Chain A
Amino acid sequence: MSTAAVSASRKDAKKPKRRSDAAAGWGFLSPWIIGFLLFSGFPILFSFYLSLTKWNLLGKPQFVGLQNYVDLMSGDSELGKTLLVTFVFTIINVGVSILFSLILAMLLNSKVRFKGLFQFFYYVPTIMPSVVMAGCMTLMFNPQLGIVNYVLKLIGVTNPPNWTGSNSLVWVVVAYASVFTFATGQQMLVFSAALKDVPTELYEAASLDGANGWQKFCHVTIPGIAPMMLFNVVSCTVNSFNGAFTLLYPLTGGGPGDATKVLGLLIYDKAFKSFNMGQASALAVVLFIIVAIIGALQFKLMDRK
């Protein structure tokens, strides 16, 4: 604050009119400055510090250097395992969200009546609370009484699987659940707006050249929305790091075993179940670095436009 005041007053000498702007500007910004220092700036730095200590919330944190990082990477390498799980989750979650939102947006963009009604049916399922959605998925994929296994039996599968009990099939449930996440609905609306901006003349010209629907999709639609699609994929990825906990905690709880224990869930377990603040903070720092790298990529993409 003080340096800002100094620089503002130095400016005053030359341009007296600007004075009110600088003073008022920092005044308006003050809630954010306090909030930033208390709730983001300090926490980020403190996470770095805590990651170098051993602490169970009792007594004082004990400085141990890089020991937490070494522990996380040695032996059966918890970090490696959770990073792999996080990677798989992100690919599935973002892939399904983007694919479905694009399909839904294209359907909504076709020339039909009752568009508002269709949009209601496409959008509302994506805003149901994740705990609600998870409860419904658990019921649908229940091995004994779920409707999914009932349908499988109807079409002749004699021994339908225990979805949430299998290390690999649990990802099918996660993929299905990813359709009904907030991100899908949001991206649907974004794509829907973008598709309206693709000039209709391009489609007409393509029709005149004898292009079929698929060719028009590949050569007109996709190039038309490509810049935004790239941007959306990146922001969806960042969101999926935040959304992972909310989706997975009620759905799988990280299970079976640790099969779906993403970074966010592991941090929660380490910090608030086993009170291992040092290791939890080390994981938090890793998460921060990953998101920072993706964020930097996003800035690059924004710059290029």
Chain B
Amino acid sequence: MSKTVEKNSKFLISENGLEKTSPKKRLEVLKTYKIYIGGQFPRTESGRYYIATNNKGEQLANVCLSSRKDFRDAVVSARNAFKGWSARAAFNRGQILYRIAEMFEGRKAQFIEELVKQDASKAQAQKEVTLSIDRLIYYAGWCDKYQQIFGTVNPVASSHFNFSVPEPTGVVAAIAPQESSLIGLVSAIAPIIAGANTCVILASETKPLCAVSFAEVVNSSDVPGGVVNILTGKPSELFSQFASHMDVNAIVYCGNDELIQKEIQQKAAGNVKRVLAYQDVNWLSEKGQTPYYILDLQEIKTTWHPIENIGSGGGGY
């Protein structure tokens, strides 16, 4: 970095590489942007990083360039967390999603600041943050309701009690929308975990800051470690691993690159993964939220149970 970087940046670096300091000014404490795996914030095991910049090319932060190994570790965490998370009462999951929103609300200013750094206007940033919080509230409310909307009691012709309920698919790998830093990520994560799945999600490559801060919000919100795992890095480097991992049950791809989508679909066939490709969704609109996103990551289980036939001759009442 040879040029002097301007005021907006956290890194005030002069041409000789030393920080500009003045005797009176307090030195700002910079944040280390780490990844989030199994409820902890490690650096990437690979030791690699990339530099997140704004549109002007100004350096915003050093960000972990997650490796395949990080992804595999995250899948192990997500798998371990799945049993407990899916066994929680739906009501409890709803409370935890609501808790994420509460923690989030308290840190609005930080997210707005990060969005502004990543080229959003103040107004846009405010809108995106509040909408992201409200989206979590929306899905918090769905946690104990989608089962009633999408489940059925089936009037079979034989003497059986038969019903179908949605159950989580399992571990979901997701590639978050690349064009936004926050709303896309939150809109992808919320229906996955509201539906009792656990996830490993790759943040926007170019706008990664909010993803890491969101991980901190999640971490302080009673979400068990491993339910949400957030990586930063390059989709181009990791998508194929996301699609081919044999212990991942479904993959969500929020992007418009048709070649990537095709390869994901091909590799997903290795263990019959469910592939959800959300193209051209405006996550800032009403269309960015629906219980059908929850349903996309559910399996329908049908249970048969015999009904005793005694007394059937004369009606059961």
Whether chains A and B associate is no
